[in-house]
Amino acid sequence: MSRLILLNKPFGVLSQFSAGRDENPHPTLSEYVKVPGVYPAGRLDRDSEGLLLLTDDGRLQSRIAEPRHKMPKTYLAQVEGEPDGAAISALCKGVRLKDGMTAPARARVIDPPQLWDRDPPIRYRKSVPDTWIELTINEGRNRQVRRMTAAIGHPTLRLVRWSIGDWTVEGLGLGEWRELRV
């Protein structure tokens, strides 16, 4: 049986176990998961939060992380402004980025989710409203969701990965994890 760890990665934490030689190191996974022999299956940017999967099985890691397997990843994104129907439709059809068109996504506006507090909180501007969208993609380009929302004119303020395939961060507090046997 393989080990699979579902971690609710906090904002500001690197998706690796060591910080390297940086003079001002950022927190890493080693501060949260003290399980030997597991490695991240994919990445989650330092400034993104939510579900990060770790496993000790290389084949499972590949199935989760490799774009050719098209495992859906659902994100909750707090974006600047109020995307209209055309903007949401553009996300659903695919948007042009510098590295080409994205695959079609599922996207919809949602009510603000009940999430943990982020430290530090996002910037708040009285004159600019914000909106939450749910976006499901099957690709895994670098900073893809952020680039997609920027391409439709609504930069991402906060990004939370909610699920990968059938695995979800639901029920996990910030920095908490649970292990499954698969």
Please write the tens of the pLDDT for every residue from 100-152: 999 999 999 999 999 999 988 888 888 889 999 999 999 878 899 999 999 99
45 classed as catalytic: yes
The CATH class of 3-67+167-181 is alpha beta
Write the CA distances from 21 to 11, 30, 32, 47, 76, integer angstroms: 21, 15, 20, 20, 33
- Could you tell me the pTM of the whole model? 0.93
Integer Cα distance of 85 and 165 in angstroms: 26
Q: Where in the chain is the domain with CATH 3.30.70.1560?
A: 72-164
Q: Where in the chain is the domain with CATH 3.30.70.580?
A: 3-67+167-181
Query: What average pLDDT is seen over the chain?
Result: 92
Question: What pLDDT is attached to residue 156?
Answer: 97
Model confidence at 160: pLDDT above 90: yes
Model confidence at 48: pLDDT above 70: yes
The CATH number of the domain covering residues in 72-164: 3.30.70.1560
pLDDT tens string 67-114 = 777 789 999 999 999 999 999 999 999 999 999 999 999 999 999 999
Q: Tokens 């059938």 correspond to what residue?
A: 166
- Please say whether the dihedral angle defined by the alpha carbons of residues 104, 155, 32 and 29, taken in this order, is positive or negative: positive
22, 45, 57, 111: which one is catalytic?
Answer: 45
| Integer Rg of the chain from CA | 16
DSSP lists the bridge partners of residue 145 as none
12 close to 24: Cβ distance less than 8 angstroms = no
Question: What pLDDT is attached to residue 62?
Answer: 86
Model confidence at 24: pLDDT above 70: no
